[in-house]
Amino acid sequence: MYGHKAYPYPQIVTNEEWEVYETTDRDPSPRTDNLNRKMYVPLDRECNKCGVNHSKYIRRHELGHAKWSPKTIGKLRPGVRQDAIEVLEEVRINYLLAKYGLPVDEYIECEDMFNMKFMDIIYNKSIADVILFGIASQAYVRDTYMQQTEQANAIEKIIYAVVDNANDISPLRKAELSFAINQIKGFANKITYSRAGQNPSYRKVQKLAKDLSEILDMFTELPEPYKEPTPQPGEGEESDEESESDETVNGDVNDLERRMREKLLEDMSYMSGRGVGYWGKMTIHEPPLTVNLQARLKGSRAYRPMDYGYNPKYINRYCIDKKIFKQKQNVKGGTILIDASGSMRFNGDDILEIMNMLPAVNIAMYNGYTSDGDLRIIAKNGKRVDDNYLDKHSGGGNVVDGPALEWLATMPARRIWVSDMKVFGGSGDTAGANLLRDCYNICTKNKIINLKDIEEVKEYALKLNQVL
C-alpha cells in the first residue's frame, strides 16, 4: 500500500461536487474551503519515520469540516479574534468525529516533531500562542467523548514538566503556563459540554470565541530571556557599618518579597473562570493634612548609643556594653500603601496607630466601587489627616490595585503594600490572572514588599526599631 494515494470523498458527506488537492512542501497547510468546495490535504499513507498514518487523521478532520463547518466563519463580532474562532472550531469538529465513530486519536505529525514544536512555542512565543496551540490540539476518543487522546495529553505533560523542572524559565512564566493549561482544558470542555447529548453548534463557537479573545489579548507579550537571579544586598545597605537591626530588616525584606511573589504566582496559576479582568479608573485625592507629627518625628530615636564616636554622651553605659558614644541615626522614610477594601477588616484607629509609629513615612489608602477607585494620601512630610477622615473612606472593593501599586512605585523607598493580595479589577470587582501578573511585575521591578494586615505592619515597625 505504500506509494498509493488515498483520496477523501467530501462529496459523499455533502452531496456536492468537490475538488481535492494534495498539499505540497510549498503549500503544506491542510484546509477546507466550504464556500468554493475545495479541500487541500496530504494524500500519502503511513509515515516513513514513525509508521503512524498521520495523513488519515488529517483527511478525517477535514472531512469533518466539510460536513459540519459553515461555508465561512461569518462576520467577526467586535473584540472577537479569527484565530480564536478557528481553534474552537477545531475542537468542535474533533468532538463530533469522535461521537460518530471517527476519532482523531493519533498524532497528526510525528510525536517528536509535535513535542519540539510545542517546546519552541513555550520558550519563544506568547502565552496566547501556547493557549491557541493547546486548544487546537485537543481531541477525544470514541465512546468516551471527554477522554483526551495522547496528543492532547502531551500538551499537559509538557507544560507541567517545564513548570516543575525547568531552570531557564522565570517563575512568572511558569505561573502563566499553569494558567494556560487551565484555559486549554477549560475551553475544550466548554465546547464539548452539552445537555441531553446535543451536538455543539457553530454558534456556541462564536459565543465562546469572545471570551477566549479577551484572554488572548491579555497575554500577547513574548517571554524575556531569564537567568537565575543572584542575591543582592538589601535596599538601604551602605557599608560595613550597617547595624544589626538593619541586617535583620534586610533579611525580613527578602523573606517578605519572596512570600509575596509566591502568593501572587500561586493565585495566578490556579485562576479559574474567564481569567481576565480590567483595572478601574483611579483618582488621587490629597485631603488636608491637619495633624502635625513633627513632634513625634523629632522625638523618635534619631540617636543611638554606639561603642565608637566622638561624643561620649552615655557614660553610664560603660560598665554595661561600653556604648557610650552618641551616634546620629537617620530616620528613614518610605511609603506605605494600604488596601482599604472591605476584605481587610481594619478601622481608622489601626491606621492612626501606624501613622504615629512611623511619622516619617508617607501613607496612602485605596479602594473602589464598580469601575472607579480612589487613592487618598493620608500622611506626608510629618503631617496626617484628622481622626475622622479614615473610617469614612474604608470598605468597598479593590478595583484599582494595579494603578495604586504603580503610584507606590514612584514613591520613596521602602515601599510597603498592606494587602491580603485578593486582587480585583473594575467591571464589578472582577478577578483575573492578568491582574495578578500586573501586580507581580510592578512589585518585583520596584522592590515592593507585602504585609498582609495592620498587625503585621505594627510588628514590622517595632522590629525596624523605627529606622524605617
What are 310-320's pLDDT values in tens digits?
667 767 776 67
Cα 248 to Cα 254: distance, rounded to the nearest angstrom: 10
Share the mean pLDDT of the chain: 84
Neighbours of 312 (CB within 10 A): 11
pLDDT for res 159: 94
Statement to judge: residues 164 and 296 lie in one domain: no
| Domain contains 305 | no
Range of the structural domain that residue 278 is part of: 244-300+331-464
User: What mean pLDDT do residues 176-185 have?
Assistant: 92
Could you tell me which residues come within 8 angstroms of residue 22 by beta carbon, excluding any fewer than 6 positions away? 5, 40, 41, 42, 43
Is the alpha carbon torsion for 229, 231, 234, 237 positive or negative? negative
Q: What is the model's pLDDT at position 309?
A: 64
In a domain, 166, yes or no: yes
* pLDDT computed for residue 200 by the predictor: 92
Pairing mode of beta strands 383-384, 325-328: unpaired
Domain-embedded: residue 410: yes
Whether 446 and 374 share a structural domain: yes
Residue 453: per-residue pLDDT: 85
Classify residue 236: in a domain, yes or no: no
Number of structural domains, the chain? 2
pLDDT of 248 > 60? The answer is no
The model's confidence at residue 2, banded by pLDDT at 50, 70 and 90, is very low
Is 225 in contact with 170 (CB distance < 8 Å)?
A: no
What local confidence, expressed as pLDDT, does residue 89 receive?
96
Q: Which three cell numbers stand for residue 359?
A: 511619622
pLDDT of res. 454: 81
- Do 285 and 372 belong together in one domain? yes
Q: Compute the distance between CA of residue 249 and CA of residue 255 in angstroms, rounded to an integer.
A: 10
CA distance 453 to 346: 8
Q: Are residues 214 and 337 in the same domain?
A: no
Answer yes or no: do 62 and 149 share one domain.
Answer: yes
Does residue 253 sit in the same domain as residue 365? yes
Say if residue 208 is in the same domain as residue 96: yes
Same domain as 258, residue 145: no
In a domain, 56, yes or no: yes
C-alpha–C-alpha distance, residues 230 and 241, integer Å: 23
Q: Are residues 258 and 123 in the same domain?
A: no
Report the C-alpha gap between 162 and 120 in whole angstroms: 12
C-alpha cell at 307: 561603642
**pLDDT above 50 (res 418):** yes
Split at pLDDT 50, 70, 90, the class of 442 is very high
For residues 193 and 86, state if they share a domain: yes
Long-range contacts formed by 404-408: CB under 8 A, 24+ apart: 404/282, 404/337, 404/364, 404/366, 404/373, 404/375, 405/337, 405/438, 405/439, 405/442, 405/443, 405/448, 406/442, 407/282, 407/284, 407/337, 407/364, 407/375, 408/335, 408/337, 408/364, 408/442, 408/446, 408/448
**Greater pLDDT, 194 or 425:** 425
Shared-domain flag, residues 265 and 378: yes
Is 19 a member of any domain? yes
Flag whether 230 is in a domain.
no
Provide the pLDDT confidence category of residue 194 given band limits of 50, 70 and 90: confident
Mean per-residue pLDDT for 93-102?
91
Eight-class DSSP state of 84: H
β-sheet bridge partners, residue 416: 336, 449
Residue 390: inside a domain, yes or no? yes
- Can you give the pTM of this predicted structure? 0.81
Q: Region 29-52: what's the mean pLDDT?
A: 93
Residues 248 and 211 in one domain: no
Where among 183, 218, 253 does a domain terminate?
Answer: 218
Listed residues 203, 218, 233: the one ending a domain: 218
Cα separation, 80 vs 208, whole angstroms: 9
Between these two residues, 368 and 316, which has the higher pLDDT value? 368
More confident residue, 304 or 251: 251
